Amino acid sequence: MALNIEKIAKSKISDVDFSNLKFGEIFTDHMFECDYKDGEWQTPQIRPYQPIAFDPSAKVFHYGQAVFEGMKAYKDKNDDIWLFRPDQNQERINKSAERLDMPAFPKEFFFEGLNELLKLDSQWVQKGEGDSLYIRPFVIATENCVSASASTNYKFMIICAPVQAYYAGEVRVVFADKYSRSANGGVGFAKAAGNYAASFYPARLAAEQGYQQVVWTDASTHEYLEEAGTMNVFFRVNDTLITAPTSDRILDGVTRKSLIQLAEDEGIKVEVRPVSRQEIVEAAKKGELKEMFGAGTAAVISIIQGFADQDQKFELPVMEDSYALRLKTRLTGIQQNKLEDKFNWTYKVR
């Protein structure tokens, strides 16, 4: 694959305080980009990170054709850089793109571009507990036209941000009973930008009531619990771990599927099935609801301390044998090349 590379004249890394990073605000020296026009992807390039200009009529602004991914790179004690299941992200961004009638991005472009970008900006991948490089691939519609139809031109990009261990403080959630994240036949399974934009208002309403996130329910009946904020959600009832099945409403999370496999490998009983709010409320009343947590790339696992269902509020116990902490320790150990990867999930940047 031909790849044009323009290196930065002087790195800005010396100006960065890596001990005091806000998530997703500081970006590395370079970015990867590739344009789609005349029915094909053009020669990709890596160039210094910088603003990009668009015509006001670019279709992404008017019809929301935009999809993205979230990944992380880790540096081990030998200064080797590792990715976690990048094949899953590569496949999913194309699945998301297809749903929004956008062209698939070639696998070889994705991996070679990502490899070269990470090699160029390898110093930005910090070596330390909880340190990683967040990677954001995305595709946007760039045709200059406001007709209501799919764009003919697109831009694929990858940008990277150094991040520390994600900590959001104590998390309490409220079960949604009015607003929905997605609907049958919609784009809930895709990482479409509009999914997240539509979630911000209900999340703000929840925050005004003292809750850090919303647990989304099915759009038809609001009876089944599906996702927690921007994460997949797990419930531990007694010693069984339960999570909703993926569908056209629920994102097929890479962290989610990895946790399911790890739990089963450790002998934890896992049930992938619809989870009703009534079931979880009843389990909480009986003292059978031991844990609830969200799972996603940014935080890996976010433990939920309490929840509200309409006018009922519940606090969860602090578990000595926490499945969440046990699974998070093993998963992050694999990601950081500290523990055995028996599943062949990790990918070494060469």
The full set of domain ranges for the chain reads 4-163, 171-335
281-297, pLDDT tens digit by residue?
999 999 999 999 999 99
Sign of CA dihedral 87, 93, 99, 101: negative
Average per-residue pLDDT for the chain: 96
* pLDDT tens digits along 49-63: 999 999 999 999 999
Q: CATH assignment of 4-163?
A: 3.30.470.10
- Distance (Å, whole) CA 268 – CA 172: 25
Residue 286 main-chain phi, psi, to 5 deg: -85, -5
Cα first-last separation, the chain: 16
Residue 108: pLDDT band (50, 70, 90) is very high
Instruction: Give the CA distances from residue 80 to residues 120, 348, 350, in Å, rounded to whole numbers and listed in that order.
Output: 13, 7, 9
Q: For 175-207, give the DSSP string.
A: E-SS--S--TTSSTTS-BHHHHHHHHHHHHHHH
DSSP one-letter string for 44-66:
-EEEE-------TTBHHHHH--E
For 223, counting Cβ atoms within 10 Å of its Cβ (0-12 exposed, 13-18 middle, 19+ buried), the class is middle
pLDDT per residue as tens digits for the range 63-106? 999 999 999 999 999 999 999 999 999 999 999 999 999 999 99
Q: Which CATH superfamily is domain 171-335 in?
A: D-amino Acid Aminotransferase, subunit A, domain 2 (3.20.10.10)
Q: Cα 245 from chain centroid?
A: 17
The residue written with tokens 């079931």 in the block is 279
Say what the pTM is. 0.96
| pLDDT surpasses 90 at 1 | no
The yes-or-no answer to whether 4-163 and 171-335 have a common fold is: no
pLDDT at 332 > cutoff 80 = yes
